[in-house]
Amino acid sequence: MYVCIAKFPSTHPINSQTTILRFTNPSYILVPSQNTFWISFPVFSGFAATLSDSQAKAVADMPGVVRVFPNRIYKLHTTRSWDYLGLNPHDQHQSNLSSESNMGEGTIIGVIDSGIWPESESFKDDNMGPIPSHWKGICQTGESVNSTNCNKKLIGARWFAKGVNTTGLEDYLSPRDNTGHGTHCASIAAGRFVANVSYEGLGTGLARGSAPLAHLAIYKVCWNGLGCSDVDGLKAFDMAIHDGVDIISASIGETLQPLGDYVDNGLAVGAFHAVAKGITVVNSAGNNGPKTYTVEDTAPWILSVAATTIDRVFLTEITLGNNQTFLGQSQSPVKHKDFIDIVVLFFLQPSEQDFGEAYVTVGKAGGVGLIYTQPHTDLIIPCPIPCIKVDYEIGTKIVSYIRRTNVVKLSQPKSVFGISLSPRVASFSSRGPSSLSPAVLKPDIAASGVDILAAYPPPLNGGHGYKFATGTSMACPHVSGVAALIKSLHKDWPPAAIRSAIVTTASVTGTDGQVIWAQGDTRKPADPFDMGGGHINPKKVANPGLIYDINKENYIQFLCSMGYTSKEITNINKREVSCSKNKYSEFDLNLPSISIPSLKNTITVTRTVTNVGSVNSFYRALVESPHGVGMKVEPQTLSFNSSITMLSFKVTFTSTQKLLGDYSFGSLSWTDGHHLVRIPLAVRVVEYESFVDT
């Protein structure tokens, strides 16, 4: 199946019955799907069709057709976290983003995902403000959803299923969420205050999103067992733009980073349209870590989010028959108070599928518990039988004992805060660099994404409607919610300014005051390819001091520098583009980061900062050079006043070693004594530009 993006004049008489193309072979007739073409507002229209390669080429060559590309299928990137991040609206002892922004009131977050469970307590509209006047969306009806499911909190919902085959679908043909993924993400970003929330008694506390008074608009494009198609995602972006959202949160992505390009990627194209309209787009970085080059959706206009742990653990005591006791972690309730038979499994590279097969096999064999080993601390799977995670050392000691007798006693798991070193970049979180555009440092930022308790469709047999989930999918809405708070406070800030504020104020130290660690095959200090600028710090994002701004024309110049033709860029830009003969350097895109994949001798990079702090400000440069690289910043000081609000500077990188090497990392900061505006650096020294030693 191919996706066709076309543009037509507003007077073109198009409706859902209009036949657009008829091929010589009468079996190929393209008819736009219902609501596919929108001619009352200036965004792109699209449809999906099953075509041969030659037919796809024929369509691409027709007047009015912007682009034809294969319909990709994307996947979903699947209480305590806001307190952990320091975002407490009731804290009066410090400058507080939540209270200053009135908890996101008046801002609309569009969530492109698997839908929503509208009855959840997290989406009640008690004491919500009025629906913003710029909202133009609808509450689309469908299976088990009608217009009464929307309210002043959930102000709109749509569903899109033209890019997938819904025959035999085990899902609701409506905005209603079947998998729980979209509900979970929406409540993380903007859920209301819900008291005494827990999962099986764990994580008990006050559930809330980042922006409890922000409004939600839901765009269901992901379907149970089918994934999320390009055509539906692109259409969702266009409708979100039309509807008037301020932020788009999309916890979806491809299984692996595409080897294609930005103009053939529906998510990248849709996000480009959104950002051009002033809408910040936040996306999950992917769950294919800890391998390098796995970060997904690397377009420079998208804010890409990695996942980290928080400081909460779920401790369970494991008591052996000789009264020796060990601690493990579990989210599974323990039903047996006495000694029981149990199975111990050692996993080298565990996955959810491994766990699923393990506890099913143990259960069928009559086992009542499972102890498993895991080298990392960031994957706990609730099981129908007690499943307790331990590290290799403890696992080995338990195995030595149960060789003689395999009975142990387990305690109920308990939530414990503050004893775990955090944050740590999760082992599954996808890593940079980007193979498509290594000059764009990805991911941009890291946020909490491990064992996050949030809203979920309630079980069929009744019970709680909240659940733990883990993934960069959960990290993404943490950042989306913070972006909504920034937008509420700084309504005129463009997407690049919001991204800059988040990246340049990020934390690079853990709860112990030392470096943040990245989990993987071996633990190591986290670098920018693990966490971008660092771990999001909501306490500082509202007042960054300086910002690195980027406009649409800058992105167009960047695409020119990558070798895209004027025609290709014109097609996605919606107006004529002519790439300048004066070659623009891709390194000069004004990102809040610098990545140089091939430093042979010397490269000079330009950046521009805008003062958003005190009118009269004086900043000086602080440099942490990557190993083997010399750095020179000119000028070394920046002075702002009422007439000078924007200044440029140059950074010259020079290789100081002759050996081929891997990337090394550093930072460049500007400080006025109050603000520290920090950007990450990644540089790789090479001897030959066409060859690197990895």
Q: How many CB atoms lie within 10 A of CB 40?
A: 6
How does DSSP classify residue 121? G
Q: How many CB atoms lie within 10 A of CB 342?
A: 23
Tell me how far apart the alpha carbons of residues 666 and 664 are, in angstroms, rounded to a whole number. 7
| Strands of 309-369, DSSP E | 312-320, 325-329, 340-341, 343-346
- DSSP structure string for 49-88: E---HHHHHHHHTSTTEEEEEE--EEEE----HHHHTT--
Q: Residues in the chain, how many?
A: 694
Tell me how far apart the alpha carbons of residues 479 and 502 are, in angstroms, rounded to a whole number. 8
Which amino acid is present at 320? L
Tell me how far apart the alpha carbons of residues 77 and 284 are, in angstroms, rounded to a whole number. 7
Beta bridge partners of 36: none
Q: How many CB atoms lie within 10 A of CB 554?
A: 19
Active site residues: 113, 181, 473
Query: If DSSP codes are grouped into helix, strand and coil, which group holds residue 393?
Result: helix
R_g of the chain computed on alpha carbons? 26
Query: If DSSP codes are grouped into helix, strand and coil, which group holds residue 8?
Result: coil
The terminus-to-terminus CA distance of the chain in angstroms comes to 37
CA angle 592, 474, 680 (to 5 degrees): 20
Tell me how far apart the alpha carbons of residues 298 and 562 are, in angstroms, rounded to a whole number. 14
Secondary structure (H, E, C), 539-600:
CCCCCCCEECCCCHHHHHHHHHHCCCCHHHHHHHHCCCCCCCCCCCCHHHCCCCCEEEEEEC
- Residue 188 contacts residue 250 (beta carbons within 8 Å): no
Tell me how far apart the alpha carbons of residues 164 and 550 are, in angstroms, rounded to a whole number. 36
Which amino acid is present at 219? Y
Query: Which two three-digit tokens encode residue 416?
Result: 């414990």
Tell me how far apart the alpha carbons of residues 415 and 316 are, in angstroms, rounded to a whole number. 9
Q: Which residue has the tokens 């999320």?
A: 228
Tell me how far apart the alpha carbons of residues 79 and 272 are, in angstroms, rounded to a whole number. 33
Q: How many CB atoms lie within 10 A of CB 495?
A: 27
Query: Which two three-digit tokens encode residue 407?
Result: 């009975």
Query: Which two three-digit tokens encode residue 672?
Result: 């006025």
The two most distant CA atoms of the chain are separated, in Å, by: 83
How does DSSP classify residue 323? S
Q: How many CB atoms lie within 10 A of CB 610?
A: 15
Query: If DSSP codes are grouped into helix, strand and coil, which group holds residue 593?
Result: coil
Tell me how far apart the alpha carbons of residues 189 and 182 are, in angstroms, rounded to a whole number. 11
Q: How many CB atoms lie within 10 A of CB 672?
A: 18
Tell me how far apart the alpha carbons of residues 108 and 116 are, in angstroms, rounded to a whole number. 16
Q: What share of the chain is helix, strand, coil (3-state, %, to 5)?
A: 20, 30, 50
Q: Identify the sign of the CA torsion 485, 490, 495, 496.
A: negative
